[in-house]
Amino acid sequence: MTKAYDALIVGAGHNGLVCAFYLARAGLKVRILEAREVVGGAAVTEEFAPGFRNSVASYTVSLLQPKVIADMKLADHGYRVIERPISNFLPQENGGYLKLGGGLERTQAEFSKFSARDAAVLPQYYEALENVAELLRDLALRVPPNVGEGLRTLLDGARQGRRFASLQLEQQRDVLDFFTKSARTMLDGWFESEAVKAAFGFDAVVGNYASPDTPGSAYVLLHHVFGEVNGKKGAWGHSVGGMGRITEIMAKVCRDMGVEISLESPVAKILVDASKAVGVKLAGGEEIAAARVIANVGPKLLYERLMNAADLPHDFQRRIKGFKAGSGTFRMNVALSELPKFTCLPEPGEHHQSGIILAPTLDYMDRAFLDAKQFGWSKAPIVEMLIPSTVDESLAPPGQHVASLFCQQFAPELPDGRDWDDEEEAAADAILDTVEKCAPGFRASIVGQARLSPKGLARKFGLVGGDIMHGNMSLDQLWAARPVLGNGGYRGPVQGLYMCGAGTHPGGGVTGAPGHNAAQVILRDRGLFAPRWR
């Protein structure tokens, strides 16, 4: 083996970079091994047509933890996020539209076009949503209690349960609703307008291969609203320079702390000796020793492809085999000669700087999922369009634009043995047809495009099943049970093996929380950090 390190991190995605920062700051000798030629994992910015650059997979900012931003001093190195003037814009099938965001009174005025009752109840809904979102914010940077650790499990659980116990009864009922109900059931209890329910229900299917009728989908809605931008809770924004700018800055901060980052260094195997992780073997054959190995890849990739089955407990193998992964996501970037002209609102405006949601009702979203289950993808998919070049001129030539198309529902594996490589183009055509119906002339304005099917996401970023969340965000795969109950505290089933990716609490999105939390566990195990109860 080559020289030993205190820690080897597999994958230079944002969580791996965050984890490396905290470990290096504590004095550990850290090296990151990245398979691709660039840092960032799924948070990267690339040129996909001459003169046109855009975020490739992850595409918008809200969930990145303020503590991580402050600790890494990202703003000092150029981190900047521009908030959306309104959150979302939803064209409707009858030719109208709904705008969400821009303040309570503006949103109420929009809702009143569809339902005076919905406009009136909106403040109560926001209050309930915020109460539950605040609970998630409180838990995001806490290590879940690891079942099986006796008194420590009880104390950790009691400490983290205090906030829930302090809620009023009605607030506790709201928590139960958001964590267990389907998005439709939960929203039906609040609103009557289908357009209003779609405006909120869209978040329930983002990165979620499920229907808004699927039990537990209300939690996915909640997961997407517990973030903040520039101190504004629940807001979303655009990272100037794309998502890759965030990870470029993180990598610089890490290197300044002494972290070694090795690109084009794919890990082939985690090396285990006497039931302890002792290093890694690279695809080229080099073996590197380390006191601990930290995986910033999904649980399916780590335990089913990078480890020998003989090194894992049998029951753990069975649980990982049943771990659900596959977000039903298809990503496209398109280079445009002009802004799209929506039939319902053709002139340039604030809606071009928002999330443009092409999914007018929950029934539309349900059909998209059922269609994908039967055929492989939806003929009328759910599409969110963002046009970041409206606020960031660095992404496209003057007068031209780039648009991100984040699309659901597309089966992680096509039925009947069909291959995504053969059908990617047809699926992309269905996406463009969907946009064209709302914005005639959109196809004619396209001067370049890039697309990633679920298989393409897996091939490019190592996302098994094309899962942008590293695993389903279902109730059985959250908190202390992410990825497996008894290994939900960032420690693997092998001594010296840790996890720091989105397959651990609190899950997917560009949050930095798994990387932060995993580092605290590692430092605690090394005796450099002690929990308060001790």
Asked whether 385 and 403 are in contact (CB, 8 A), the reply is yes
Residues 91 and 218 in one domain: yes
Question: What pLDDT, on the 0 to 100 scale, is given for residue 151?
Answer: 67
Instruction: Tell whether 494 is covered by a domain.
Output: yes
Question: What pLDDT, on the 0 to 100 scale, is given for residue 528?
Answer: 57
**Local confidence pLDDT in tens for the 534 residues of the chain:** 566 899 999 999 999 999 999 999 999 999 999 999 999 999 999 999 999 999 999 999 999 999 999 999 999 999 999 999 999 999 999 899 999 999 999 999 999 999 999 999 999 999 999 988 888 888 999 999 887 776 676 677 777 777 777 888 888 888 889 889 999 999 999 999 999 999 999 999 999 999 999 999 999 998 888 888 888 888 899 999 999 999 999 999 999 999 999 999 999 999 999 999 999 999 999 999 999 999 999 999 999 999 999 999 999 999 999 999 999 999 999 999 999 999 999 999 999 999 999 999 999 999 999 999 999 999 999 999 999 999 999 999 999 999 999 999 999 999 999 999 999 999 999 999 999 999 999 999 999 999 999 999 999 999 999 999 999 999 899 999 999 999 999 999 999 999 999 999 999 999 999 999 999 999 999 875 544 433
Domain of residue 159, residue span: 85-235
3-state class (DSSP) for residue 240: coil
**Within 13 Å, how many C-alpha atoms sit on residue 371's CB side?**
17
Question: What pLDDT, on the 0 to 100 scale, is given for residue 529?
Answer: 53
Residues 91 and 222 in one domain: yes
Radius of gyration of the chain (CA): 22
Residues 334 and 442 in one domain: yes
Residues 312 and 335 in one domain: no
Out of 235, 257, 286, a domain closes at 235
Out of 235, 260, 281, a domain closes at 235
Domain count of the fold of the chain:
3
> What is the spatial order of strands in the sheet that 260-262 belongs to?
260-262, 30-33, 7-10, 293-295, 497-499
Asked whether 521 and 489 are in contact (CB, 8 A), the reply is yes
Amino acid of residue 169: L
- The helix or strand, by DSSP H or E, that contains position 364, with its residue range, turns out to be helix 362-375
Q: How far is CA 345 from CA 37, 340, 341, 471, in A?
A: 42, 10, 7, 37
First and final C-alpha spacing in the chain: 38
Instruction: Tell whether 58 is covered by a domain.
Output: no
Task: Dump the DSSP string for 301-349.
Answer: HHHHHSS-GGGS-HHHHHHHHT-------EEEEEEESS---BTTB-S-S
Asked whether 410 and 381 are in contact (CB, 8 A), the reply is yes
3-state class (DSSP) for residue 173: helix
Residues 36 and 138 in one domain: no
3-state class (DSSP) for residue 202: helix
What phi and psi, each to the nearest 5 degrees, are found at residue 7? -155, 135
Question: What pLDDT, on the 0 to 100 scale, is given for residue 531?
Answer: 44
3-state secondary structure 93-147: CCCCEEEECCCHHHHHHHHHCCCHHHHHHHHHHHHHHHHHHHHHHHHHCCCCCCC
Out of 187, 212, 235, a domain closes at 235
Residue 335 burial (10 A CB sphere; 0-12, 13-18, 19+): buried
Instruction: Tell whether 117 is covered by a domain.
Output: yes
Question: What pLDDT, on the 0 to 100 scale, is given for residue 224?
Answer: 83
Asked whether 108 and 119 are in contact (CB, 8 A), the reply is yes
Residues 116 and 258 in one domain: no
CA-to-CA distance for 326 and 281, rounded, in angstroms?
Answer: 27
- The helix or strand, by DSSP H or E, that contains position 523, with its residue range, turns out to be helix 513-525
CA-to-CA distance for 450 and 532, rounded, in angstroms?
Answer: 49
Q: How far is CA 255 from CA 30, 258, 508, in A?
A: 10, 5, 25
